[in-house]
């Protein structure tokens, strides 16, 4: 559903063609056209689509309907093309087999002409021409920049991020410690701020940090990278794997950056990333103002003339980095994020959610709708629970406190209150007596408050202050019997042969 929403956004809000939107979303052109047609049939607008969650959008667009079979163009020639790779297979042999299947089919000459015409369209060489402000190519250089630690003297290699505009070749470069997701995203943010605007399309290579699954037809972007694209309203179209012509601009830009920046800095020693980027910015100004060899002007002059006027303004708010990960709700309606457990509505038990970890918050989404938001916690193994996420019976259990139990007990009778107080006092922690006290509530519902009061009175008299004792009294009917008389303390026996306790005290026994 995320691709459907993205397709409608690119076509309706940004006026892209179905073909361009299909490349950006990683689906076929006909699929994008079908999405648009279904949305129009459902009388939806982009404003209406923005207000729908993914489940509702799916129900609006995909009502049950009969679908007929669809043919595919060029299937015969694809088979011919693959068969010709086999040793000993010729085009005439394939034509003869074709005539056996289709006696009224094409003659040999026509058959060969049609195949060659189809083959010529497989991969026609093309010199790319880029529209103003349309594409930004991004990549990392293969070489690194050495930065020395002042304390240890150890040298660490920093990565060089390069971004090049397609029309003007205007170049941006910066050094980062790693090629991690945070550095990748922040470099994109700073590149757009350097340009002062947004292009229509960003074309990266297929790094794992940005493209989760590289595929010629259906690449899958990292969710954080996709969120960044939505924030700046750009389409991310990765280059096809093994097709360097798709990103020739940035390949050449990386080569120029290595020669114009890295090569010139090879004799300098840097002790911090800030100093390194300061030197890169100085050389970057020279690079962009350097005159072209075969064309008039420079990268900067072409940027000011061609790209800058058509770049869209940046959004008011800068993108806040947020990392996404998939989580599954445990049976206790909590999900684990970085070792801490966060609650979600209990109805989502065993469902797969998406967690966005950004800044000081953890947000949890189910089918594109946010279902929970928590303050981020660094305490591993602990739980953050919102009472509204709990089932009713769990909330009611948490509402039981020692004070509430004692108040309830007084309503049933003084003996019940005395027994509950003694049960709670006999435990190291009062919560350990909650279950026994709640068990007494069940006995009161079953036998009535009068019998429960009588049973608790007997239990207090005989010193049997346990739930099982009260239950046994009620089951055997002892609560209806007269209470036993208290045992009087007997006086000590007076006899000459019984010395008594005083005899064993200090000074009482003979030496």
Q: What is the CATH number of the domain that holds 228?
A: 3.30.420.10
Q: How crowded is residue 176: how many other Cβ atoms within 10 Å of its Cβ? A: 20
β-partners of residue 372 are 364
* 338 & 230 share domain: no
* 33 & 115 share domain: no
The alpha carbons of the chain give a radius of gyration, in whole angstroms, of 39
pLDDT of residue 126: 38
* 290 & 165 share domain: yes
CA distances to 8, 16, 68, 125, 477 from 24, rounded to whole Å, are: 12, 10, 27, 22, 79
Burial of 87: CB neighbours in 10 Å, binned 0-12, 13-18, 19+? exposed
User: What six digits make up the tokens of 36?
Assistant: 């648009």
Nearest Cα to Cα of residue 416 among 424, 401, 406, 429: 406
Q: Does the residue 78 lie in any domain?
A: no
pLDDT of 240 > 80? The answer is: no
Q: How many domains does the chain have?
A: 5
| 486-495 pLDDT tens trace | 555 455 555 5
User: What six digits make up the tokens of 181?
Assistant: 């997701």
CA distances to 146, 154, 461 from 267, rounded to whole Å, are: 10, 17, 94
pLDDT of residue 508: 52
Q: Does the residue 81 lie in any domain?
A: no
pLDDT of 234 > 60? The answer is: yes
- Of 373, 393, 413, the one marking the end of a domain is 393
Q: How crowded is residue 239: how many other Cβ atoms within 10 Å of its Cβ? A: 23
- Of 268, 284, 310, the one marking the end of a domain is 310
Mean pLDDT along residues 344-353: 87
| Confidence category of residue 396, pLDDT binned at 50, 70, 90 | low
* 238 & 280 share domain: yes
| Confidence category of residue 206, pLDDT binned at 50, 70, 90 | confident
Q: Does the residue 492 lie in any domain?
A: no
| 253-293 pLDDT tens trace | 788 888 888 888 888 889 999 999 999 999 999 889 988 77
* 188 & 329 share domain: no
| 501-511 pLDDT tens trace | 555 555 555 54
| Confidence category of residue 161, pLDDT binned at 50, 70, 90 | very high
Mean pLDDT of the chain: 79
User: What six digits make up the tokens of 253?
Assistant: 């830009």
* 350 & 405 share domain: no
pLDDT of residue 176: 92
Element (H, E) at 446: helix 434-447
Q: Does the residue 316 lie in any domain?
A: no
Q: Does the residue 507 lie in any domain?
A: no
* 49 & 116 share domain: no
pLDDT of residue 68: 26
In sign, the C-alpha dihedral spanning 355, 23, 20, 32 is: negative
**Crossing angle of helices 414-425 and 402-412, rounded to 10°:** 150
pLDDT of 295 > 70? The answer is: no
User: What six digits make up the tokens of 274?
Assistant: 């800030």
Share of residues in the chain with pLDDT > 70 (%): 80
| Confidence category of residue 497, pLDDT binned at 50, 70, 90 | low
Please, what's the b/e burial string for 348-367 (b: 16 or more CB within 10 A of its CB; e: otherwise)?
Answer: beeeebbbbbeeeebbbbbb
pLDDT of residue 173: 92
Nearest Cα to Cα of residue 486 among 451, 452, 453, 458: 458
Q: Does the residue 69 lie in any domain?
A: no
Mean pLDDT along residues 125-141: 72
Q: Domain range spanning residue 412?
A: 400-480
- Of 393, 413, 432, the one marking the end of a domain is 393
* 466 & 351 share domain: no
Contact by Cβ (8 Å): 8, 230: no
CA distances to 80, 102, 118 from 97, rounded to whole Å, are: 11, 9, 19
* 157 & 271 share domain: yes
* 100 & 22 share domain: no
Q: How crowded is residue 173: how many other Cβ atoms within 10 Å of its Cβ? A: 27
In sign, the C-alpha dihedral spanning 460, 463, 467, 468 is: negative
Of 184-198, 225-239, 245-259, where does mean pLDDT reach its minimum? Answer: 245-259
* 153 & 185 share domain: yes
177-183 contact pairs (CB < 8 A, 24+) = 177/273, 179/140, 179/207, 179/209, 180/209, 181/209, 181/222, 181/224, 181/225, 181/323, 182/321, 182/323, 183/159
Mean pLDDT along residues 392-401: 64
* 110 & 187 share domain: no
Q: Does the residue 79 lie in any domain?
A: no
Q: Does the residue 129 lie in any domain?
A: no
User: What six digits make up the tokens of 159?
Assistant: 């990565």
Model confidence, pTM: 0.48
pLDDT of residue 193: 92
CA distances to 184, 201, 213 from 289, rounded to whole Å, are: 26, 25, 38
């Amino acid at each position: 559903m995320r691709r459907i929403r993205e397709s409608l956004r690119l076509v309706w809000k940004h006026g892209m063609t179905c073909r361009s939107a299909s490349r950006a979303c990683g689906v076929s052109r006909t699929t994008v056209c079908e999405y648009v047609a279904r949305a129009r049939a459902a009388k939806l607008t982009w404003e209406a689509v923005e207000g729908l969650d993914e489940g509702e959008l799916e129900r609006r667009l995909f009502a049950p309907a009969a679908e007929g079979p669809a043919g595919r163009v060029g299937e015969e020639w694809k088979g011919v093309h693959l068969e010709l790779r086999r040793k000993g297979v010729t085009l005439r042999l394939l034509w003869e087999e074709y005539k056996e299947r289709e006696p009224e089919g094409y003659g040999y000459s026509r058959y060969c002409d049609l195949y060659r015409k189809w083959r010529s369209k497989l991969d026609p060489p093309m010199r790319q021409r880029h529209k103003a402000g349309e594409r930004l190519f991004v990549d990392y250089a293969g070489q690194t920049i050495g930065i020395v630690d002042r304390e240890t003297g150890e040298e660490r290699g920093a990565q060089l991020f390069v971004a090049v505009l397609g029309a003007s070749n205007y170049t941006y470069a910066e050094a980062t410690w790693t090629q991690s997701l945070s550095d990748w995203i922040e470099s994109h943010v700073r590149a757009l701020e350097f340009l002062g605007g947004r292009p229509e399309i960003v074309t990266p290579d297929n790094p794992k940090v940005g493209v989760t699954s590289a595929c010629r037809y259906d690449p899958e972007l990292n969710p954080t990278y996709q969120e960044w694209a939505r924030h700046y309203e750009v389409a991310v179209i990765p280059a096809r794997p093994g097709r360097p012509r798709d990103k020739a601009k940035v390949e050449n830009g990386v080569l120029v950056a290595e020669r114009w920046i890295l090569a010139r800095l090879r004799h300098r020693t840097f002790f911090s990333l800030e100093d390194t980027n300061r030197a890169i910015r100085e050389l970057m100004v020279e690079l962009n103002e350097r005159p072209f060899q075969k064309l008039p002007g420079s990268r900067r002059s072409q940027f000011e003339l061609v790209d800058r006027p058509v770049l869209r303004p940046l959004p008011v708010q800068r993108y806040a980095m947020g990392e996404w990960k998939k989580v599954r709700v445990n049976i206790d309606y909590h999900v684990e994020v970085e070792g801490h457990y966060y609650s979600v509505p209990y109805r989502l038990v065993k469902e797969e959610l998406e967690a966005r970890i950004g800044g000081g918050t953890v947000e949890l989404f189910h089918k594109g709708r946010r279902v929970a938001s928590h303050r981020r916690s660094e305490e591993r193994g602990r739980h953050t629970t919102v009472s509204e996420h709990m089932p009713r019976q769990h909330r009611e259990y948490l509402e039981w406190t020692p004070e509430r139990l004692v108040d309830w007990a007084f309503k049933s009778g003084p003996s019940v209150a005395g027994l509950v107080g003694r049960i709670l006092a006999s435990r190291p922690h009062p919560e350990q007596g909650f279950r026994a006290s709640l068990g007494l509530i069940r006995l009161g519902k079953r036998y009535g408050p009068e019998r429960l009061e009588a049973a608790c009175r007997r239990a207090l008299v005989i010193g049997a202050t346990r739930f099982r004792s009260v239950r046994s009294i009620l089951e055997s009917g002892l609560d209806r019997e007269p209470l036993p008389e208290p045992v009087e303390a007997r006086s000590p026996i007076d006899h000459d042969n019984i010395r008594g306790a005083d005899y064993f005290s200090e000074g009482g026994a003979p030496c």
